[in-house]
Each structure stands twice: as C-alpha cells, then as structure tokens.
Copies of this chain bind each other. A is one copy, B any other.
Amino acid sequence: MTEQSVSQGARRGRARRGEGERLREELLAAAATLLREGGEPALKVRAVAAKVGVSTPAVYLHFRDKADLIDAVCLRAFAGLEREMLDAATGSDDPFQALRLRAAAYAHFALNHAVEYQLLMAPRSGQARSDLAGDAAQALLDHLVAAVQPCVDAGVMRGDVRELTLGIWAAMHGCVTLMLSRPELPWGRDPAAFAEHVGRMSGLGTALLSRIEGVSETPPSSKTFARVLDAAGRKLGST
C-alpha cells in the first residue's frame, strides 16, 4: 500500500543477457521526469525505481548511490544545454547578434529544464559538491567566452573577456533564476521575451560600460547620461 502509492510504471520485463544498460537509460529518464514534475525533493530512489517498474535495489545495479544518479542526470541536462547553445550560434554571422541568440538559447534551456538547471548551478544542499557541477560551470563560462570574444574582436566591447562575460552571464542567470523561483512577479505574458530583453540589456550595458570604466573620476550626472544616451539612441534607431 505504502510502496504502491508511488509506483506508476507497469511491471517491465527483465532485460536479456547483454542488455543491462537498458535499465540505466530508463532510470535516467524516470529521474529526469520526476525532477520536472516535482522538483528536487521528488527525486527519491524508491520513486525512480517505482516509475520504471523495478524494485528499489535495482537502482544500485547501475548507480553507486543517489548522488551518482543525480550527477548522471545533470550531465545529460548539461549536454543538452551545450548542444542548444551551439545550434543557436549557427544563425547569424554578426558577433553581437550571435551573442544575443546564444543568450536566448541559454534562457530557453534554463526555463525549460528548470530543476536540472538549478541543480547544475546551485551547490547541492548539504552535500560535498561533486566537482561535476563545478566543471559544468567552467565549461559553460568557456562557451560564453567564445561568444563574447568575437564581440571584443569586432570592437563592440573592450577589456577583459572573462570579466565581460561573467557580467553578462550573471545577468542572464539572475533573470532565469528569479523567474523560476518567483514566478509571481510581473514578468509579462512571455517569459522568454523578458529573458531576451535582459540579454540585450546586459550586452548593451557591457558594451557601453567597457568604454567609460575608469575614464572619468567623478561619474557623469544623470542629466549628462540622459543627453548622451538620447543621442546614441537616435543614431541606433535611425540606421
């Protein structure tokens, strides 16, 4: 009764001799589904096994422990993110435009793989962080750097690429994180559109800031900002 209340999967047949790996795939898929449906706390070893239609200890045939299972799920999710970002790049040959597309792909992925994204980005509560997540973050940064570098080369931005990238990344990350954790805030009808807005905002801000950082000791007044930005806006709009 107690155990059955979790179970959803039909009794599945046992795999043939060399096909043990099949169960591993099914477990991963079930775990991902559980995460999507109920968030991290829904990912219980018992639940994963039940969803596949297999006994609980069978999970340990393919994963050392629960953390190992979670790692595997994250690894898959991350591979998906990498693929989407690479695909997004092959749309435009204009560097700034390409950056925008990648940022949009990033947001798209995060919003559609909420829990995996959070699992990858936020340290696993209470556990010693597996270095998997750290590696993923580093790889992600490298990806983004590869998108920002052409902007620097094209003269849209100046300065240290990693620093520029981190700022843009932070903005995108904050946007999707806040959207996921506080959906009740006024994001408008289309979350993806808002994320794109933030992507453009951070790109433009980074480009402009990289030109004036450290130039003048006392920052310009609001009036000056308004005047100069008005001119810039007009020029950008009229082209």
Contact = CB atoms under 8 A, between A and B. Distances in A.
Interface string A197-218: 1101111111111011101100
Interface stretch (A18-26, A47-55, A184-192): A184-192
Report copies per complex: 2
A226 B210 CA distance: 11
B229 A211 contact: yes
A220 to B, nearest CB: 5
Q: A interface, by DSSP: helix, strand, loop or mixed? A: helix
Interface-centre pick from A94, A184, A208, A228 (highest chain B CB count, 10 A): A208
Contact of A233 (B122, B141, B174, B211): B211
B198 A204 contact: no
A212 B230 CA distance: 9
Contacts of A100: 219
Given A97-B221, A216-B239, A232-B232, 4 more contacts: A94-B221, A167-B197, A169-B178, A171-B175
13 contacts: A39-B125, A121-B181, A155-B223, A162-B186, A163-B186, A167-B194, A167-B198, A169-B174, A172-B174, A173-B174, A177-B177, A204-B208, A212-B236
